[in-house]
Amino acid sequence: MQFNAKARYVRFSPYKLRPLADVVRGKNVSFALHWLATHAVKRIVPVQKAIESAAANAKQQGNLDKGKLYVDEIRVDEGPAYRYYKPGAMGRSNPYKRRFSHISVILKPLAENKD
């Protein structure tokens, strides 16, 4: 049995969120949440919320608490990019992109862990 959660249109670049996802992938949910809570950057908030949402889905659907789950898959995909322009040198305009992310989390019970 697996429990899913998605966070879409997160206003952080996927290039900045993927290293956080790589750390918590394959770890126990309670360990992952504690690690994210001690990491002092703002961009941990959407990753933390997505994992907590999947854990809440597990508690609601399968009656499992955070200690009995692990992060089987966490994926940070690229969302749409907001394009805008700012003034540049010699009267030109410089294009910029504000990137968005889609985070998807899949949790599984520890008994199904094949490691």
Give me the pLDDT at residue 112, please: 61
Please, what are the domains in the chain? 3-110 (3.90.470.10)
**In angstroms, what CA-CA distances link 115 with 4, 65, 110?**
21, 21, 10
Mean local confidence (pLDDT), 8-14: 97
Mean pLDDT computed over every residue of the chain: 94
Model confidence pLDDT, tens digit, residues 42-90: 999 999 999 999 999 999 998 888 889 999 999 999 999 999 999 999 9
Q: What is the predicted pLDDT for the residue at 3?
A: 95
